[in-house]
């Protein structure tokens, strides 16, 4: 009697009994059994026990090259000795002083030294909090209410920005947000400066916000010429230009996407890599705008016109220590240059695997970010000439393909951001790791072909 080979789903599940049991337990306590929408997937997520360098290990003993890299925060990989040392030493000196410390001053100086236009720094805790503060500063400064955002661009989960994140863009990304709140969020088409002009002509716009490299970590890449046009248009009209560099900050270069593209925003939202892998974030930008937060000494102005901001965990010493350790290394740009080289190698290698196997698809992105799309090539998707359809790129290859591809990559020892097949690389990766990821992708394609999941 011949036994047929198990499917990818069966193979994944059979080899992870401990993860399966943990997931069953988790579902009794947490919605969907997880702490983050993006971490849960079918048939069940794997549970990680430890991580080091470019890798993490699950409770069933499987090793994965980590292309999710702490949701992009771990620019140096897991447990970089300098970061671990800084955290360990600081933990003995105190976690939270309820007071100022020299650490936050040094952290702010490092950011100012790297990020174009960072004349002032305000520490926050998360990306969501930071984009929310940026909007408040822009509104207080301009006296206008409306904000322009772009289809597919993600700025965290607060009310104003649940609009137009995912296809279909007219349905907000979350329930529970009043339509009246969303009235002040205007949605523009990606890379369409004429549409932006129209919106700016017709509405009292305080700010335009975008992920400069493209919506959802380059799922819908931005045309560099569009960024320059946007800069000119917003300057001309006194509209605040906000770059959400939560992912790209300190990643594309020491000065983030602003250095990479040569365009400087008025306000920049930083999170992830800015805090050394611990929870921390910062709003930075032009002094006159940022000083909307500053006390002036004029009691009436401070009570009526000032932007109030306070967070229990903002700029805490433990986070500052980790951040300083990471930024002291990232500030030279060397890590990013090497990672950008590895990123080029990785995308080229994966695209070659598609070609060799005769699979229609492409792996695109820039710097140390990549995204896999199966079912259409770059030209067909309009990626070569900026004619792309944001909704199509956003939908990606669809769950029927992205699910099995994700599982196949896991079975072959590589973890990527689930669902949308995005990856962020980290500084612990070597050329050998790139070879291993390309090989895992090649094997995964073969597996999808074998199971007749590819057209």
Ligand X SMILES: Cc1ncc(COP(=O)(O)O)c(C=O)c1O
Interface residues with ligand X (CB under 6 A) are 71, 126-128, 131, 154-156, 211, 244, 246-247, 271
Nearer to ligand X, 131 or 416 (CB): 131
Nearest distance, CB of residue 144 and ligand X, angstroms:
22
**CB 420, CB 401: distance < 8 Å:** no
Q: Give backbone dihedrals phi and psi of 42, rounded to 5 degrees, phi first.
A: -90, 140
Nearest distance, CB of residue 134 and ligand X, angstroms:
11
Nearer to ligand X, 126 or 402 (CB): 126
Nearest distance, CB of residue 129 and ligand X, angstroms:
7
Nearest distance, CB of residue 227 and ligand X, angstroms:
15
Residue whose Cβ sits closest to ligand X: 127
Q: How many CA atoms lie within 13 A of 281 on its CB side?
A: 24
Nearer to ligand X, 271 or 454 (CB): 271
For Cα atoms 263, 268, 269, give the angle at the middle one, nearest 5 degrees: 140
Sequence-distant (6+) residues with CB within 8 A of 269 are 127, 130, 131, 134, 155, 242, 243, 244, 245, 246, 281, 283
Nearer to ligand X, 275 or 408 (CB): 275
Q: How far from 358 is each of 355, 397, 420, 442, 449, CA to CA, in Å?
A: 5, 17, 22, 11, 10
Could you tell me the two tokens for 149?
């955002």
CA-CA-CA-CA torsion sign (382, 222, 197, 233): negative
- Taking the C-alpha atoms of residue 315 and residue 308, their distance in angstroms, rounded to an integer, is 16
Nearest distance, CB of residue 367 and ligand X, angstroms:
14
Nearer to ligand X, 126 or 420 (CB): 126
Nearer to ligand X, 23 or 154 (CB): 154
CA 119 to chain CA centroid, Å, is 24
Nearer to ligand X, 248 or 412 (CB): 248
Nearest distance, CB of residue 160 and ligand X, angstroms:
12
Nearest distance, CB of residue 442 and ligand X, angstroms:
29
Q: Which residue has the tokens 């290698």?
A: 349
Of 13, 209, 11, 225, the closest CA to residue 128 belongs to 209
């Amino acid at each position: 009697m011949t036994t047929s080979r198990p499917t990818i789903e069966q193979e994944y599940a059979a080899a992870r009994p401990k993860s399966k049991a943990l997931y069953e337990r988790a579902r009794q306590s947490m919605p969907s059994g997880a702490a983050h929408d993006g971490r849960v997937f079918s048939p069940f997520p794997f549970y990680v026990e430890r991580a080091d360098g470019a890798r993490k290990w699950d409770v069933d003993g499987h090793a994965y090259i980590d292309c999710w890299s702490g949701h992009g925060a771990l620019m140096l990989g897991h447990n970089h000795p300098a970061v671990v040392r800084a955290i360990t030493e600081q933990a003995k000196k105190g976690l939270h002083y309820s007071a100022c410390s020299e650490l936050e001053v040094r952290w702010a100086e490092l950011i100012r030294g790297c990020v174009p236009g960072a004349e002032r720094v305000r520490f926050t805790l998360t990306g969501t909090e930071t984009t929310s503060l940026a909007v408040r500063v822009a509104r207080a400064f301009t006296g206008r209410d409306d904000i322009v955002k772009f289809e597919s661009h993600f700025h965290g989960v607060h009310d104003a920005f649940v609009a137009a994140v995912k296809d279909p863009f007219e349905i907000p990304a979350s329930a529970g947000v009043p339509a009246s709140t969303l009235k002040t969020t205007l949605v523009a088409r990606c890379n369409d400066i004429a549409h932006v002009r129209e919106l700016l002509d017709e509405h009292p716009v305080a700010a335009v916000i975008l992920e400069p490299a493209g919506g959802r970590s380059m799922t819908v890449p931005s045309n560099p010429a569009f960024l320059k046009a946007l800069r000119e248009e917003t300057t001309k009209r006194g509209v605040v230009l906000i770059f959400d560099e939560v992912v790209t900050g300190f990643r594309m270069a020491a000065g983030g996407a602003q250095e990479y593209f040569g365009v400087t925003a008025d306000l920049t939202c930083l999170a992830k890599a800015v805090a050394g892998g611990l929870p921390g974030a910062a709003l930075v930008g032009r002094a006159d705008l940022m000083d909307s937060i500053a006390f002036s000494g004029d009691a009436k102005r401070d009570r009526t016109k000032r932007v109030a901001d306070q967070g229990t965990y903002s700029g805490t010493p433990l986070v500052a220590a980790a951040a300083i350790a990471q930024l002291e290394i990232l500030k030279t740009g060397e890590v990013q240059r090497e990672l950008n080289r590895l990123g080029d190698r990785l995308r080229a290698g994966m695209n070659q695997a598609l070609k060799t196997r005769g699979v229609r698809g492409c792996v695109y992105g820039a710097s140390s970010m990549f995204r896999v799309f199966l079912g259409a090539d770059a030209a067909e998707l309009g990626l070569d000439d900026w004619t792309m359809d944001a909704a199509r790129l956003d939908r990606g290859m669809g769950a029927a393909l992205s699910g099995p591809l994700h599982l196949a990559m896991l079975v072959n020892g590589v973890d990527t951001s689930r669902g949308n097949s995005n990856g962020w690389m980290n500084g612990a990766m070597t050329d050998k790791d790139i070879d291993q990821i390309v090989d895992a992708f090649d094997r995964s394609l073969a597996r999808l072909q074998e199971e007749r999941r590819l057209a």
